[in-house]
Chain A
């Protein structure tokens, strides 16, 4: 099935640094979703975006719906150790969802 291109694949950062990751698609989406998955757990929905250009925040997380509707961005400010995990994007076509390949984030204290 279709996979969304997500980058970077992994990141190793110092605690306190900001993080940026992005997701691109060959198709237009009307929804972009961002998830975080901790080891051994299910993905947790962080942010949902519905409008091109929209910027939405959830605490230290900010996500943007790209104006082309083919990309989305997630930023994490002032990272902390509990930000460790895999982040991935998702976009639906109808009620079927397509997922990014994931960005593995490691935060070094």
Chain B
């Protein structure tokens, strides 16, 4: 049971380039999310999914696209990278235990630098 996996671990992009950050989970969790973590800003939600085929925007969605074709995978696409997207990106999966009880697990992160 690998939990939540992310690739790549590190990435450097030039402004304007596009790329996809991969995320997979093997826990059969219904919910998956993408966050970015910046110094002094904490974790901010980019996009999330409540199940295969269903996605929605979070707090900071601009410049990012997501899709969820399977329960396991939730890739994050940067359409045209900008220096403001330099950050550490975390994918997370979570599940409901009923009655408002949840658990959420994070991947190891992707450290992205845009020059």
Contacts and interface: CB of A to CB of B under 8 A. Distances in A.
Interface in B65-110: 90, 92, 94, 96-97, 99-109
Contact of B94 (A1, A97, A101, A102): A97
A100 B42 CA distance: 8
A1 B48 CA distance: 14
A95 B96 contact: yes
Interface residues of B, number: 28
Contacts of B107: 42
A44 to B, nearest CB: 7
Interface in A1-54: 1, 3, 29-31, 33, 35, 40-45, 48, 50
A91 to B, nearest CB: 9
Given A1-B59, A102-B42, A33 B33 contact: no
Nearest to B95: A95
Interface in A66-109: 88, 90, 92, 95-97, 99-102
A30 B101 contact: yes
Contact of B45 (A1, A29, A33, A35): A1
B94 A95 contact: yes
A90 B94 CA distance: 13
Interface of B: 4, 31, 33, 42-45, 48, 50, 58-59, 90, 92, 94, 96-97, 99-109, 111
24 contacts: A1-B44, A1-B58, A1-B59, A29-B100, A30-B101, A33-B103, A35-B106, A40-B109, A40-B111, A42-B4, A44-B106, A45-B104, A48-B101, A50-B97, A50-B101, A92-B100, A95-B31, A95-B48, A95-B96, A96-B48, A96-B58, A97-B102, A100-B42, A101-B42
